[in-house]
Structure 1
Amino acid sequence: MSDSMINPSASTAMEPAAPVVAPVPAERQNIALAMDTWKLSCSMGKAYAILPDGMVPKNYAGNQAACTVACNMAIRMNTDPVFVMQNLYVVQGNPTWSGKSCKALIDNSGIYADRSTYQMTGAEGTDERSCRLVAISKKTGEPVVGPAVSVKMAKDSGWWSKNGSYWPKMPEMMLRYRAAAYFARTECPEVLMGANIDMADGPEEVNSL
């Protein structure tokens, strides 16, 4: 009778040990994930670029490069690509959020407990009229108050007198746009995903009203 029959563990002991597989470093995992995300963005961008007229904003229609950037942003934000296309300008590959989109980005970020609100001070129609955006931190329960923007600031900075400016025509709306943009920049820049904010004061800022 063989030793292996007498002692079954003897044959087991003779079997070579399974090779130890080293864990994949986190850096390599992140790179692989980024590459997969970019491949998906390229596929989605190609699909959106060939959609019929009227399905996507005109600055994206037929523009595969811009569609790819917008789709990549949408994947990273876990949001609708069409929302991104409606609010993100891509110029030579550089993404820029429209000023009017900032409040939506803030309110949908998950950082704050509820919708942010505008805090208006000063009499309407005067240089003292000002606006701040205020939100409640979900983590601390404390209010987070953004920088104030005033009509006087708009005039002193040249926004009011700029050719084609909407500040004299729609000061209440422009105050809100600026207040939300400043809040995003100072209090939660991460919601911008590294993109700039378009601080234009002309028709492009209010084209969706």
Structure 2
Amino acid sequence: MTATATQPTNLAALRAPQEASMPAVRAGFFDLQSFELMQRIAKGFASSTLVPREYQNNVANCMIALNLAQRINGDPLMVMQNLVIVHGRPTWSSQYLIATANMCGRFTAIRFEFFGDRGADTWGCRGWAIEKSTGEKLVGADITIGIAKEEGWYSKNGSKWKSIPQQMLMYRAGSWWVRAYAPELSMGLMTADEAEDTFDLVQGTDGKLAVDLSALRDDPAGEHGEHPQIEERQPVTIPQQTAAPAAERVDAETGELIDRNAQQQSGDSPGFADAHAAVRSGDYDLARDLARGLPDAQRQQIEAAIANLDDGARQQQDAPARGRARQQRGQGGLGLD
């Protein structure tokens, strides 16, 4: 009876799927199983209509968003909803960055305090929070309307600094606080409103933000200071000095060039100097090859030098024969056999 009672349990164990005994796999990029799991999750998000258009039918963008969610321990859908693509670069929304710092558990919720006269350039805001592990009050940088004007945020086309300055002061103070005390949460990315203040953005019909490149090229007078006066000058043409042709003077006995102008010209033309050296060494074939790429005047000088040396060599070869002929004639005249 005991064996019969335990048999179903053993059969159920044998029928259990093999996946139950496999180790848990975490989505990632650096091993096969993790990468396949990441792709399967990304395909699910890419086929959904609840994600922004930048992620619909785009598995690669979904995988990058999943990786960022893992790094900050955030929800993937919330990351996709708040990761705004501006000019091909991901940016965070300011409210999501502040919310991430509030939920990380290391600090109390970020609070804001205003100072200065409302509506004046001195009106500003700073963020602060208490670090739970030490009890220290962490105070962020001061953001004022004057800073917004000096940095050019206030005068940008479509800027919200004129319509909702209080909200923009809190957003900017909060994002700067996170960047100062919890940079691992922002991952080095800008916020969407910072990108809008840096570039003139235009929102298209598809909801995407694009940069107006003409705004980057054109700077209206007075917006970023006066333009420096540029003096227009006409190009100056410098006449090219043409060297006088060198006289072709060759030593009749040695075949060397003895004209000074020719020597100066050879110093200006390495090809001519090489051809001249080949003539002196007796390599006439090499000298002729180098002379083909030289100007006519220099080529003629090399050819003349080769011809003179050839004549001299033939004369030296013929000299013994002529001497023997004269000697034989002299002996014949003297009656010598």
Taking structure 2 as the reference length, the TM-score comes to 0.46
How big is each residue's C-alpha offset from its partner over 1:111-142, in whole Å with a ceiling of 9 and x where there is no partner?
A: 21x21101111232222111111010011101
Structure 2: how far apart are the matches of 1:157 and 1:174?
A: 14
Map 1:40-51 → 2, pairs under 5 A: 40-51=37-48
Quote the offset at 1:182 in angstroms: 0.9
- Structure 1 segments, 4+ long, off by >6 Å, are none
Distance 1:77 1:50 in 2: 24
**Cα pair distance change 1:165/1:203, threshold 3 Å:** farther
Structure 2 distance, partners of 1:175, 1:145, is 15
Structure with greater Cα Rg:
2
Aligned residue pairs total 171
Relative to total residues, which structure has the larger strand share, 1 or 2?
1
Please report how far the alpha carbon of residue 195 of structure 1 lies from its aligned counterpart in structure 2 after TM superposition. 3.4
Check whether the contact 1:88–1:96 (CA below 8 A) recurs between aligned residues: yes
Determine which of 82, 100, 107 is the counterpart of 1:105: 100
Residue 152 of structure 1 aligns with an amino acid whose one-letter code is G
- What's the counterpart of residue 76 of structure 2? 81
Q: Partners in 2 of 1:37 and 1:129 — Cα distance?
A: 51
Taking the aligned partners of 1:43 and 1:91, their CA distance within structure 2 comes to 27
1:151 aligned to 2:145? yes
**Residue 189 of structure 1 aligns with which residue?**
183
Alpha-carbon offset, residue 37 of structure 1: 5.2
Contact 1:120 1:130 in 2 (8 A): yes
TM-aligned CA distance change 1:135 to 1:62, over 3 Å? same
For the residues of structure 1 that align with 2:111 and 2:202, how far apart are their CA atoms? 24
Inter-CA distance 133–34: structure 2 relative to 1 (3 Å threshold): farther
Residues 194, 151 of structure 1: CA spacing in aligned structure 2 closer, same or farther, 3 A cutoff? closer
Change beyond 3 A, Cα 1:190–1:38: farther
Which structure 2 segments of 5+ residues have no match? Answer: 1-27, 208-337
Consecutive unaligned residues in structure 1, runs of 5 or more:
1-31
**Which region of structure 1 is more displaced relative to structure 2, 148-157 or 193-202?**
193-202
1:59 is paired with a residue of what secondary structure? coil
* Distance in 2, Cα, partners of 1:38 & 1:182: 34
Aligned twin of 2:169: 175
Listed one character per residue, the Cα deviations across residues 120-170 of structure 1 (whole Å, up to 9, x for unaligned) are 112322221111110100111010001010011101111000111111001
Equivalent in the alignment of 1:164:
158
SS state of the match for residue 191, structure 2? Answer: strand
1:80 aligned partner, one-letter code: D
By percentage of residues, which structure has more helix? Answer: 2
Taking structure 1 as the reference length, the TM-score comes to 0.72
8 Å contact from structure 2 (residues 121, 146) kept in 1 = yes
* Mapped contact 1:69–1:95 kept (Cα < 8 A): no
